C-alpha cells in the first residue's frame, strides 16, 4: 500500500481529460531521468539472439503521461521481431514476455517535464521503448586512488558521433569547477566555450564516478549496432581511467556508467551549446 499521496499526485492519476498524442521524438527532450534497459540473463540473451529473425532488442509502448509528467499507463505495442508474425498483435517470444511486468515497472519509474499544449500542461500519449540488454559486465575490481589535493581531478565526455547526424562534441570538468566545451559537428555551437560550476558540483560528479565503480568497468564496450561512440575519461592525480561506449548496452555496459554520460551533460548544461538535446 502506498500512503501519503499528495493532492497533486491524486489529481494526476484521476485526470480524465483527453490525452493528446505527441511525437516520440519529444521523449528525450522531456525525460527527467534516463530510462534504463530491461536486463535479461546471459542465457536469455543468447536465446533472444537465436530467434529466426534475430529478435528485437527493445519493446515498444504507448505511454499515457499526466499533466504533471507522471506515467499513468503503459500499453505494449505489437512485437514484430519474430518470423512468426501472423497477427496484428503478436506476442514477444517467451524469453521476453516473462519480463513484461519488469518492463512496465521501468516505464512507470520514468518522469517527464510536462508537455505544453495550447499554453497549458497537457495529458499526453507518446510512443517510447524499453531497450533489452544482457547482464552488466565489469572487469577486475579496482579502487580509485585518494585525492592528493582537493581539486586534483578532472573528467570528460566525448561524443564522437555515429553514422547518422549525432552531435559531435567534448565537454570536460576540472576539479576546480572549470568547464570546457568544444563543438565539432551537428551542434548548435561549434568551437570552444568556457564556463564554471561550483567545486561542490565537481566533487559530486567525482562521487558519481566512485559510486558507479567506474575504475572497474571494461575499457571498451563495443556492439554491432552503430548508435553512437562515446568516451568517458576520469583523471585523479597521475592516474587515468577511460571507458569507450560504442553501443555498449548490447554487450553489458553497466547502467551506472551510461548514466555518467548524462550526469556530465546535465552538470555542465551542455544542451545550451549542443542544441536540440535538452538534459534533465
237 grid coordinates: 592525480
Same domain, 17 and 65: yes
Residues in the chain: 280
- Structure confidence by residue, pLDDT tens digits, 44-56: 998 888 865 555 6
Asked which of 81, 99, 133 is the last residue of a domain, the reply is 133
Q: pLDDT higher for 144 or 87? A: 144
* CATH number assigned to the domain comprising residue 170: 3.30.1560.10
**pLDDT band of 13, cuts 50, 70, 90:** very low
Q: pLDDT higher for 249 or 106? A: 106
User: How far apart (Å, rounded) are the C-alpha atoms in residues 201 and 8?
Assistant: 31
Whether the model clears a pTM of 0.75, i.e. scores above it, the answer is yes
Q: For residue 45, how many C-alpha atoms fall within 13 Å in the half-sphere facing its CB?
A: 16
Say whether 107 sits in a helix, a strand or coil. helix
Question: Facing residues of 35 across strands?
Answer: none
Closest CA to 130 of 226, 35, 248: 35
- Domain housing 69: 11-133
**pLDDT band of 15, cuts 50, 70, 90:** low
Same domain, 269 and 157: yes
Q: How many CB atoms lie within 10 A of CB 279?
A: 20
Same domain, 15 and 119: yes
Same domain, 252 and 169: yes
Amino acid at each position: 500500500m502506498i500512503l501519503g499521496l499528495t493532492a497533486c499526485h491524486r489529481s494526476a492519476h484521476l485526470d480524465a481529460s483527453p490525452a493528446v498524442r505527441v511525437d516520440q521524438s519529444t521523449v528525450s527532450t522531456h525525460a527527467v531521468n534516463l530510462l534504463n534497459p530491461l536486463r535479461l540473463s546471459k542465457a536469455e540473451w543468447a536465446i533472444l539472439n537465436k530467434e529466426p529473425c534475430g529478435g528485437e532488442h527493445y519493446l515498444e509502448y504507448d505511454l499515457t503521461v499526466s499533466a504533471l509528467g507522471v506515467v499513468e499507463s503503459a500499453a505494449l505495442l505489437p512485437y514484430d521481431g519474430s518470423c512468426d508474425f501472423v497477427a496484428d498483435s503478436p506476442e514477444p517470444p517467451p524469453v521476453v514476455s516473462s519480463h513484461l511486468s519488469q518492463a512496465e515497472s521501468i516505464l512507470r519509474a520514468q518522469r517527464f517535464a510536462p508537455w505544453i499544449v495550447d499554453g497549458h500542461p497537457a495529458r499526453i500519449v507518446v510512443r517510447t521503448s524499453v531497450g533489452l540488454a544482457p547482464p552488466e559486465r565489469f572487469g577486475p575490481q579496482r579502487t580509485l586512488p585518494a585525492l592528493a589535493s582537493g581539486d586534483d581531478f578532472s573528467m570528460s565526455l566525448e561524443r564522437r558521433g555515429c553514422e547518422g547526424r549525432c552531435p559531435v562534441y567534448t565537454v570536460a570538468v576540472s576539479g576546480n569547477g572549470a568547464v570546457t566545451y568544444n563543438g565539432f559537428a551537428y551542434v548548435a555551437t561549434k568551437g570552444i566555450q568556457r564556463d564554471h560550476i561550483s567545486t561542490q558540483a565537481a566533487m559530486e560528479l567525482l562521487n558519481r564516478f566512485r559510486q558507479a565503480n567506474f575504475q572497474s568497468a571494461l575499457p571498451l564496450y563495443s556492439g554491432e549496432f552503430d548508435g553512437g561512440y562515446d568516451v568517458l575519461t576520469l583523471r585523479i592525480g597521475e592516474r587515468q581511467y577511460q571507458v569507450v561506449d560504442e553501443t555498449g548496452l548490447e554487450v553489458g555496459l553497466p547502467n551506472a556508467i551510461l548514466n555518467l554520460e548524462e550526469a556530465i551533460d546535465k552538470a555542465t548544461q551542455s544542451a545550451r551549446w549542443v542544441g536540440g538535446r535538452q538534459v534533465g
